[in-house]
Amino acid sequence: MNTMQKVAASAVVRHLAAPVVLVVVGLATAGNDYYLHLATAAGIAYILTAAFNLIYGYAGIFNLSIIMTYGLGAFTSVYLEVHYGVSFWLALLVAVVVTSTLSVLVALPSKSLGELFLAIQTLAFALALGEILLSWEEFSGGTIGIYIIPSPSLFGLELIGGYQEFYWLTAVFALLTFQLMRNVHRSGTGRKLVALREGPRILASVGVSPGQARLVAFGLSGMLAGLAGALYAHFQLVIDLDTFSFHRLVALLLATILGGAGYFFGPVFGVLAILVMDELSLVTSQAQDLIYGVGILVLVVATRGGIAGAFQRLVARFTPARQRSGPLTTASGSGEQRNPQRVAEQLAEEGPRRQVTVTDLAVSFGGTRAVDNVSITFATGEVVGLIGPNGAGKTTLLNAVTGDVPTAAGAISLDGDRLLGRRQQDIVRMGISRTFQSPKVIPELTLLENVMLAGDGLDGPGWVNEVLRTPGSIRHDRRSRERAMALLDDLSLAGRADQLVGDQPYGVQRLVEIARNLMLQPSFLLLDEPGAGLTEFERAEVAEVVRALSHRQIGVVLVDHNLSLINAACDRVYVLDSGRLIADGPPAEVFARQQVISAYLGVPG
Amino acid sequence: MLSLIVTSLSLTAVLIPLVVSVSLVFRVSGVVNFGAGYFCVFAGAACASWGAENALLGVVLTLAAGAVLGGLTYAAAILPAQRKGVPVIGLTLSTLGFGLLLNFVTRQQFGGQPSIVQPWLTGSVQLGDFQTARQRLLIIGLSLLLLIGLYLLFDRTLIGRALSAVAHDHELAAVYGVRSSRFRLLAWVVSGVCLMIGGIFQATVASVSIDVAPTLLVLSLVGAVIGGLGSLFGAVGGALVAGLAMTVTDQFIAPGFHLTTLLVILSLVLLVRPSGLFTFRGTAERV
């Protein structure tokens, strides 16, 4: 079988596997009420677990309020049907809108909390909402619950919970959820959510608002949880608040981590595993707490990535094929030729000359003036070095330009537009991108995905298109994949494009970060100590890349300690000492000055 | 007015050991114990059962069990996971797992019924026009005693200093010859005992059942966070605020909305002063 056939076959398998499994399960369980019940329950549990996997596994937000979001979906749909006589379908739609709205509302006050505090607040929210619903008896049935739940009907066919018809309904929604999660997983949405988990700063540095990404995660997972809740109510036909208790939450957490948080197939494995555990505890006379407890303790300690993670490692072990063929060292003594000139050619055509002007800038930390009345300019097409001893304020100055630290006084502008006070992602969108002292890359994504992340942000197709996987977003994805691949190729990293960044040596991570920034097609690239931790050879290469960039009308600001790198790459340098500008001019001239030498070497001037 | 004060103080008295426990483990291990509610339920059930003949014996046995359980949580749920480099949320889940095991034991050993510990002081006292059970006043006093004891232990002894050092920077503490795992174990043991005290208090003034485990957990977490997780006495201040807020809700707004009120306060605190209401330079540095 040639490659094309293989690809086509695997695509068919990928698209048909899930429906076929669901149909087979449906046919196999027909006639057996108990198995039918289990199968339907599993379908609903999959939707709920996928919702939590999305927000916790992908986006890293430990949102415990999801359990009441689920409950609210159930109660809202039933309430609308019983009190307003609307059909199941409309009630479902409204319930889903309500739950995603609620979920977004939870997101707002928890914005800047650490994960532990977020867990506490969302747990408190879930229990408090339970308290409120308990007293709203018309809605929740109080402590008794709600007994008369009408069944959905479709073209005159009654879909009664527990019967075969309802299984098919659940199967369709489970399939839609599965498809949605696959879209998330494969598209920029998945990459952006993972970036959010790894650190909001990475997202901002590719021009995506972390706040917005958070809201998308909350909204989507609230939607899925509401869907699961509404289905659950019509499946059980009886619901009360106890159904959505802490205990159910524990089962959900267990399913998510057991299956593998952040893995596409995690929820599938998790639900199956919980199903088995529940059956076990039925056999062992209600020892559910024991089984869950042991399960959690063992899992947390013994596994990384749950069942899906273990599975993936197993698969990786038996497919040594093309991923592993990449070069093993970064230094291209092995005859690999990097091509910095071509890197530059990847970038957009020469644009108009742009200039960043920093005037009388001051940044204070407490009583310390880290940057003190500094004025510098840099323009496209030149390479400007920023040097000075440790603690001179170089990185702080960079941070001020990119919006990472608040400033005390002064002004920063780009072609006359104010930059001060803008958010990081907006500054990136204006054409100023940067790297960090220690490379900020996403270890759990591949090299290619890390670079593609930059294509998702700046002129990406947007969340809705990505999640629905519209033709436009597929085209964009393909283009961005090609560009990212070309960039990696020019940096001689194409061979390892599909490997995880976390497994790469430091030098490669740096190059990946630079590639990600080039993907943004910036006017200015600020490099914070790109030479740190690199070999002599790699540093020379960075210098070459930097020079090539300046020929393409990109302005580069280079912060580094390595004077030979600065000498080789820079047109002009600024020297900072203790927050003040002490010299500027061409490198050779500046390095000859006594003041600069004594600042560096401590010789009294 | 008097009723407001006494009622909120008695709620606070139950909360104090709980928030102390939360704060203590947070300081030394950086996690919160999601099994705390199950500890309290165990305490109520165990004390009611073991103390049926002799109340004092029941209390002593329960506290001893709490010490063992606290130590076990550290040894079984925290230590192995920490060695594996499990992140904070994983550790928190791990404590939940231990809590579930404990809940299983509670169910097996004592049945699942709500448990009541007979009050140690019967009858009630008349304070002006307000009547309250003697037991409530007793637990307020006992909580105060507990606080004094903890203050002496953590602020006036070398143990407290070493614990502070471990909490602050365990590597540096190790350089100075402090065996940090020993002190962490101590903190977890004390935390286990505190949870027992809270559970027993609750069982003497009301009842404790498996259903309220999540509520107790949230009360302890929210109380501690409001006051400031990082400091013992900040957390106690949080318990005071929480106790007062719950009583005010009951008396002036509507009964049954404790958690809602606390959620509102928690959200405000996290918005305005995320390190907690009662964290000042002095308090933040003590365990």
Q: Over chain A, what is the mean pLDDT?
A: 85
Is A120 in the B-facing interface, judged by CB distances under 8 Å?
Answer: yes
**Tens place of pLDDT for every residue, chain B, 287 residues?**
788 888 899 899 999 999 999 998 998 888 899 999 999 999 999 999 998 888 899 999 999 999 999 999 999 999 888 888 888 888 888 999 999 999 999 998 888 788 888 888 888 888 777 788 888 889 999 999 999 998 888 878 888 888 888 888 878 888 888 888 888 899 999 999 999 999 999 999 888 888 889 999 999 999 999 988 878 888 889 999 999 999 999 888 888 898 999 999 998 988 888 777 887 654 444 43
Query: Domains of chain A, with CATH numbers?
Result: 35-243 (no CATH), 245-316 (no CATH), 350-431+522-605 (3.40.50.300), 439-521 (3.40.50.300)
Nearest-angstrom CA–CA distance, A345 and A246? 57
Cβ proximity of A61 and A218 under 8 Å: yes
How much is the pLDDT for A344?
Answer: 59
Cα gap A590→A584, rounded to integer Å:
6
Place of tokens 């303790």: A297
Q: Which of A110, A250, A294 sits opposite B101 (nearest CB)?
A: A294
Judging by beta carbons within 10 Å of its beta carbon (0-12, 13-18, 19+), is residue B80 exposed, middle or buried?
middle
- Residue that wins the pLDDT comparison between A154 and B144: B144
**pLDDT of the residue at A592:** 83
Chain B contact present for A285, CB below 8 A = no
pLDDT at A303 over 80: no
Higher-pLDDT residue of A540, A334: A540
Min Cα distance B202 → chain A (Å) is 19
All residues of chain B having their beta carbon less than 8 Å from the beta carbon of residue A296 are 93-94, 96-97, 100
Residues of B in contact with A246 (CB under 8 A): 213-214
B35 contacts in chain A (CB < 8 Å): none
> In Å, how far from its chain's centre is CA A261?
13
With a CB cutoff of 8 Å and minimum separation 6, the contacts of A475 are: none
Give whole-number Cα distances, A460 to A16, B20, B31, B196, in Å.
Answer: 29, 49, 39, 55
Contact check, Cβ <8 Å, A115/B274 = no
Distance from CA of A515 to the nearest CA of B (A): 30
**Per-residue pLDDT averaged across A123-149, rounded?**
88
What tokens does A111 get? 């914005």
pLDDT at A327: 42
**A–B: how many Cβ contacts below 8 A?**
116
Q: In the 8-state DSSP scheme, what is residue B208?
A: B
| Partner residue facing B93 (CB), from A128, A289, A300 | A300
The string of DSSP codes covering B143-170 is: HHHHHHHHHHHHHHSHHHHHHHHHHH-H
List of chain A residues whose C-beta atoms are within 8 Å of the C-beta of residue B92: 116, 119
Q: Which of A115, A124, A135 is nearest residue B222 as measured by Cβ atoms?
A: A124
The answer, yes or no, to whether residue A332 has pLDDT greater than 50, is: no
* Partner residue facing B256 (CB), from A131, A246, A301: A131
* B71/B188 Cα distance (integer angstroms): 6
Q: Which of A129-143, A195-209, A305-319, A411-425 has the lowest mean pLDDT?
A: A305-319
- The average pLDDT across A389-395 equals 85
Indicate the pLDDT class of residue A335, thresholds 50, 70 and 90.
very low
pLDDT at B284: 41
CA distance A271 to A257: 11
* A198 vs B: CB within 8 A: no
Q: A492 near A327, Cβ under 8 Å?
A: yes
> Do residue B97 and residue A295 have CB atoms under 8 angstroms apart?
yes
End-to-end CA distance of chain A: 75
DSSP sequence for A75-116? HHHHHHHHHH---HHHHHHHHHHHHHHHHHHHHTTTTT--HH
Q: In which element (H, E) is residue B62 found?
A: helix B55-72
Interatomic CA distance for residues B225 and B245, integer angstroms:
15
pLDDT at residue B60 in the model = 94
Q: How confident is the model at residue A337 (pLDDT cuts 50, 70, 90)?
A: low
Nearest CA-CA distance, residue A106 and chain B, Å: 10
Mean pLDDT, residues A514-537: 86
Interface of A with B in 295-324 (CB under 8 A): 295-297, 300-301
Q: Which residues of A touch B215 (CB under 8 A)?
A: 127
pLDDT level of residue A348 (50, 70, 90 thresholds): low
Decide the pairing of beta strands A432-434 and A524-528. parallel
CA angle centred on A396, ends A394 and A397, rounded to 5°: 65
Q: Do A123 and B99 touch (CB under 8 A)?
A: no
Q: Is A289 on the interface with B (CB under 8 A)?
A: yes
CB-based contact, A246 to chain B, within 8 Å? yes
Cα A514 from Cα A484, distance rounded (Å)? 12
Percent of chain A with pLDDT over 90: 26
> Is B91 in Cβ contact with A116 (below 8 Å)?
no
CA distance B284 to B269: 17
Tell me the pLDDT tens digit for each residue of A399-439. 999 988 888 888 898 888 888 888 888 898 888 999 988 88
Banded pLDDT at A324 (limits 50, 70, 90): very low
Residues 6 or more apart from B63 whose CB is under 8 A from it? B193, B196, B197
Task: Could you list the beta-strand ranges (E) of B94-163.
Answer: 124-127, 130-133
Range in A272-276, A405-409, A548-552, B5-9 with the lowest mean pLDDT? A548-552
Contacts of residue A110 in chain B, CB cutoff 8 Å?
270
Interface contact flag, A109 B270, Cβ < 8 Å: yes
> CB under 8 Å to B128, separation ≥6 — which residues?
B2
Q: Which residue in A120, A123, A291 has the most chain B C-beta atoms within 10 A of its own C-beta, making it the best mutation to test that interface?
A: A120
Contact B262 A128 (CB under 8 A): yes
More confident residue, A553 or B102: B102
The C-alpha atoms of residue B24 and residue B287 are separated, in whole angstroms, by 7
In DSSP terms, which residues pair with B131 in a beta bridge?
A: B126
Would you state the structure tokens that stand for residue A236, as one six-digit string? Answer: 């059980």
Q: What is the pLDDT of residue A408?
A: 87
